[in-house]
Amino acid sequence: MKKLEGYAAEVIKDIIRDGDAAFELDGKRYQVISLESPITTVKEDVEADPGLEKKLHQAKKDILNNQVYSTDEVLEMIDQGEL
């Protein structure tokens, strides 16, 4: 996520205040939306979901042991019923 400050932040605020959060830039249309969900830390996520800590430790162990898979490999395993 990019944090806007100064003039860039003011321009975006003006777009939002106008009531129409859509704009065009270099021939492409964009829309500014508010992400209402609160941003949490990993610690807060682990506290909310105790199983997450185990999954994170296992993922770290797998990476250290070079047990990683590409997206295509995972999709193939899913298609073959392995996952």
The greatest distance separating any two alpha carbons of the chain, rounded to the nearest whole angstrom, comes to 53
Between 2 and 73, the higher pLDDT residue: 73
pLDDT of residue 27: 93
Q: What is the pLDDT of residues 60-74, one digit of tens each?
A: 999 999 999 999 999
Look at the chain and report how many structural domains it folds into.
Answer: 2
Task: Specify whether 1 is located in the same domain as 29.
Answer: yes
CA distances from 30 to 4, 9, 17, 54 (A): 16, 16, 16, 39
State the amino acid at position 64 in one-letter form. Answer: L
Task: Specify whether 3 is located in the same domain as 19.
Answer: yes
- For residues 43-64, give the mean pLDDT: 93
If pLDDT is split at 50, 70 and 90, which confidence band does 13 have?
confident
pLDDT of residue 39: 80
- For residues 33-61, give the mean pLDDT: 88
- What range defines the domain where residue 23 resides? 1-36
Pairwise CA distance, residues 64 & 60, whole Å = 6
